[in-house]
Amino acid sequence: MTPNGGYALGNVSCFGSGPLGPNEQSPGQAPGITNEQHETAHTYQGEALGPFYLPAYGVAAAIGALNGDWHNNFMEAGPMSNPPRPWP
C-alpha cells in the first residue's frame, strides 16, 4: 500500500492512508477531480497499452525525472490535468 496518494496497475487502483485518499482532490488535476478519478484514467491507459503500460510509464517517468519532476510526464497528461494537456 502506498503511504500517500494512489497508484494504478491494470484495473486495480490502490490508495494509502495518507491525506491523499481516493476522495481527495488529486494534485495537478482540474478542480473537482478526485484521486480515484485520476487513477481510473490510468486503468484505461493500461487497457489500451496492455503489456506496454509499465514500460511506457517507466520511459515517461524517466523523461519527467530528467526534466525535474518524474510525475510530470506524458502518461500523467490528459483532459483532467490543470491546465488540460492532451495525451500525445
pLDDT digits (tens, 9 = 90+) for 58-83: 999 999 899 888 888 888 887 777 77
57 phi/psi in degrees, rounded to 5 = -70, -35
The mean per-residue pLDDT over the stretch 16-31 comes to: 79
DSSP labels, 29-64: B-TT-BHHHHHHHHHHHHHHHGGGHHHHHHHHHHHH
Note the pLDDT of residue 4.
61
What is the reported pTM?
A: 0.78
* Residue 13 scores a pLDDT above 70: yes
- The confidence band for 2, taking pLDDT boundaries of 50, 70 and 90, is very low
Tell me how far apart the alpha carbons of residues 32 and 39 are, in angstroms, rounded to a whole number. Answer: 14
